[in-house]
Structure 1
């Protein structure tokens, strides 16, 4: 059963990564190497998330076998005395009992090899191959040597930050004469440097997601808020659409002025034209999707107070639902969902996600305390461990890791840096953004999982307990080698999540962006109100255009 469970997860995660890549990428137009590199990066990161709970349950089972195999303590006269003495060594263990093998037990020796392959492959992707492929593809140099040179220069900042952290840690270890730099310790320093770099960014993204995800569900329950924000997006999207069309026209004019065909083929402005075409196509697709969303929200708003308990669509011909979906999701069922149940469902989701966020923030600020145990995740896992309830352990681990990943990954998917990096659904994401997301995932996932193991006190460097380590932790190396990291940075730096959560709650980032001229939706802001009114008027014009177009088609058909 264990081999089957591992195989199902490996195959299922692959199709999950493939589905997401299909949603954001374009299999027909983008280069195979770009798609393969992004797919591999996403796949390896998702594997870590799904396999780590099995590693935790397997470790607890192995710990149980070691605990029962401990020799009797001198002076003890019964099994109870031995159990009480052994509990002082292994605080999370209960009285002696039969160790039942987990349904997902993975044999010894499999996970260390698995983690070693997954981790080092992902690190090669994020630090070497993907950054190089990004710069090489965007380079405007004429020769391969020139492209390689440009790629190396552009990636100097990435390699430089990593080397700076690595060299600092190396000097710290070398300054202690009692330590000898073996290959294992050298490897641990490299892993620690990579995780330290990732933890810097992880805390920023996690602090944002822990607040914004629950709040987004609460706001999504308010139909008026959704409609106003859609109007705001329409005003911004109209400006971006016009700018994209102008940039494309300017780029095509420059290309048209080049008469020599061979010179045009070697002209360094060709990457600019390709980028302009991509941005124009992205804006056009997003504009069409935004129009459909706005029309749907307006139709629901009109149907809420109507005598018929049905959602009456303004443009029935524009609905792209399949016949089966139209048969099941009838206008009456749609009305009850949109006007009655949706509000309660989203507010219930807000309560659940808000409770998880509070648990994460509390645990991040208290997980360093082993006596008493204050981390809520550690308490939950230890309660299940005492009963050897492996299914509960795996489900708790998976839900916790999945929630952390959603908070981090969703923030990655929402990041937009001046249209330079932007993940757009409906197959509109460019090659650079796909590769950049894969690079971020590979850098964020290992420190995120290591942080989670600290939250549940399965990392002895954090909990200071004498127990066996998970296979994942054994591959990452013992952080006790670097006490300044294990006893300082890894414990106190995550506490900044509390400050970032407060900043996100009060929308300090959005307010700063508004001051810089990058409009963000803030309901009490005057500029936001102006853009909402502008977007409403734009959508009214588009609605009239669509109505006239449909009337013209109807007259032609008659």
Structure 2
């Protein structure tokens, strides 16, 4: 009876968990508000995306609570947040199966539904089901071998089917988690170290500017082509187009085309290509056109926002560098699209200069060093996890377990905080890699204007990777700890049900070394060049771990990017003039197809002379003039050996033979039968003012013709 009275009450922990859940919900709503317009987004889109973000965050909160509940300390002062076993089991069941349903069924169907292009909901649903049927067939075919082997060994039952599905889903997610996390564990600290060098940061922004500017211009041309097709379709009032009058009007309104339509293209060939619409208009054609229009609008908005952000970052970095002379940093006019915190001016120009020029680089170096140690600890723990149970060499285990009672590990409140930080960093490494690796069919997250299909896809990846990543973290601890958790009783026993699943869970994380080395030593750039996708080495290869391999084309690209940024800051950008002319040409306030965000004004004087962006043969043109530029203006972030190599190459290229070597042979005259004479005419040397000797004259060929006659 005394033990029952003195038993700790879970009410304070339950209140804390409830408040933490409310806070996590608020954070998920803020994330949604940052990437999507909440008022314009349908509710049946917002709710699944919200849960796809909220549930992984709840898992990050639930894992430390589960650790402390299964191995809580006996001291009330160090005891962490804990919950009863039944509450934890119900929480894990709800969280896991909601995440599973969102990942494999709800989000993929809604993603294709939003990208269908059809007008009627039934047609959208049929398009989505047909598109996902191929995906489900591939997944089912890949899992048939595992299903058959389990059924033959353990018999067919609903319980065995559920166990196989959960184990296969975990293994499939673990493959992506290890790859993405390995990439992020290297890229996040390296980005902090590189941003600490202001000169290098500005040079990288300028090097990325030409490619991004060209993508923005290409997206504009693509959008104009699609809008021209919609305008031509709107002018057609006969035949099968009459059956889709309302649909065409909706597309024209979406494209911002006025009632008078767009003016025909100035180029006749382009006009003929744009007007190449089918004679018979079908529903499939209308759906394809609507899908292309929506994608083109979002692509245009994406590149405009990325370009504005790059220009703003370059302007701010240049302002910090320029403040070294005046010891004052003026922020200038605030960007209306920036956050309220960035528009707030608290510091004086001098203190702002001290903060951004002297303090922030060291802060980035310090954070990069801390995160580098964290990355090394995670990689070490992943590699030696299979040996850590016996030799106790897991670094994460020692940072989480702070209390030992009779060789029994216990997790207190401090261990819960540390485990939360570990999981957050592992999630950040994996989720950051999703946005950095550009292999996702042009999908991107755009502030306040993310396409619905992209939002569904990214939220699906977040939900898919949360459970494998959390359980992978739990297995990095001691076996005496994680085998007692409710998470292991719910999912871990199913994974360890067969020897194959257990060894896969322990051995596969060793392959984290592949993405780590690939990112650290620039293997992606080497593979691209080997396959022919990157013949010219640019600063992108340097970002992938190849410092020192910089071509003259890279030196020309950053100069071109610098000119493009200066021209945009001065207000003379071609895209800006085009965007300002489109509303005037289309009508008052109409015809703007994409949001034109404001760009901060130039912080210095006038813009420097610029070159027009080069398309197609731009790399060759930059290589042609790069040798002179590299000699006149060496790059600032080169090390000693790179600078010495540049100087030696330029010296050899501009080497002139000495006078004594040029005068050899001036005193030797050719005989007349070889075409020579006693005078200066036809002399062989460099002196005398005669034409230089050419062996082709022996065979009857002239110097000017350049031919040899036999």
State the TM-score, normalized to the length of structure 2.
Answer: 0.66
Q: Does 1:412 align with 2:438?
A: no
Write the distance in 1 (CA, Å) between the matches of 2:541 and 2:100.
39
When structure 1 is superposed on structure 2, of 158-167 and 276-285 the one drifting more is 158-167
Max radius of gyration: which structure?
Answer: 2
Q: Which of 164, 185, 206 does residue 181 from structure 2 map onto?
A: 206
For structure 1, the residue ranges without an aligned partner over 5 or more in a row are: 65-96, 458-462, 552-558
Write the distance in 2 (CA, Å) between the matches of 1:411 and 1:466.
30
Structure 1 residues 389, 41: closer, same or farther in 2, change over 3 A?
A: closer
Partner deviation per Cα, 1:111-130 (whole Å, 9 max, x = no partner): 11111111101111110011
Alignment of 1:216-231 (within 5 A): 216-231=191-206
What does residue 33 of structure 1 align with?
44
Partner deviation per Cα, 1:12-62 (whole Å, 9 max, x = no partner): 11111111121122224333322222111011111101221011000113x
Alignment of 1:142-181 (within 5 A): 144-176=121-153, 179-181=154-156
Q: Does 1:455 align with 2:476?
A: yes
Write the distance in 2 (CA, Å) between the matches of 1:400 and 1:442.
18
Q: Does 1:485 align with 2:505?
A: no
Structure 1 residues 418, 412: closer, same or farther in 2, change over 3 A?
A: closer
Q: Does the CA-based 8 Å contact 2:474-2:482 persist in structure 1?
A: no
What does residue 503 of structure 1 align with?
518
Structure with the bigger percentage of helix: 1
Structure 1 residue matching 2:416: 3-state secondary structure = helix
When structure 1 is superposed on structure 2, of 143-152 and 387-396 the one drifting more is 143-152
Equivalent pairs counted in the alignment come to 504
Structure 2 residue matching 1:109: 3-state secondary structure = helix
What does residue 391 of structure 2 align with?
372
Q: Which of 537, 552, 558 does residue 532 from structure 1 map onto?
A: 558
Q: Does the CA-based 8 Å contact 2:35-2:450 persist in structure 1?
A: yes
Write the distance in 1 (CA, Å) between the matches of 2:210 and 2:371.
31
Structure 1 residues 380, 110: closer, same or farther in 2, change over 3 A?
A: same
What does residue 350 of structure 2 align with?
332
Structure 1 residues 310, 257: closer, same or farther in 2, change over 3 A?
A: same
For structure 2, the residue ranges without an aligned partner over 5 or more in a row are: 1-11, 248-282, 543-548, 578-599, 603-710
Q: Which has the higher contact order (CA 8 A, sep 6+)?
A: 1
Q: Does 1:294 align with 2:314?
A: yes
Structure 1 residues 477, 186: closer, same or farther in 2, change over 3 A?
A: farther
How well do the aligned residues superpose, as a CA RMSD in angstroms? Answer: 2.8
Offset of 1:538 from its aligned partner? 0.6
Write the distance in 2 (CA, Å) between the matches of 1:193 and 1:207.
21
Structure 1 residues 368, 22: closer, same or farther in 2, change over 3 A?
A: same
Structure 1 residues 324, 311: closer, same or farther in 2, change over 3 A?
A: closer
When structure 1 is superposed on structure 2, of 380-389 and 351-360 the one drifting more is 380-389
Q: Does the CA-based 8 Å contact 1:384-1:392 persist in structure 2?
A: no
Offset of 1:324 from its aligned partner? 10
Offset of 1:327 from its aligned partner? 4.5
What does residue 356 of structure 1 align with?
374
Q: Does 1:137 align with 2:114?
A: yes
Write the distance in 1 (CA, Å) between the matches of 2:342 and 2:148.
66
Write the distance in 1 (CA, Å) between the matches of 2:492 and 2:164.
9
Alignment of 1:42-441 (within 5 A): 42-61=53-72, 102-141=79-118, 144-176=121-153, 179-258=154-233, 259-260=236-237, 262-263=243-244, 265=247, 267-268=286-287, 269-304=289-324, 306=325, 308-313=326-331, 315-316=332-333, 326-369=344-387, 370-386=389-405, 388=410, 390-417=412-439, 420-424=442-446, 426-441=447-462
Q: Does the CA-based 8 Å contact 2:174-2:465 persist in structure 1?
A: yes
State the TM-score, normalized to the length of structure 1.
Answer: 0.83
When structure 1 is superposed on structure 2, of 414-423 and 106-115 the one drifting more is 414-423
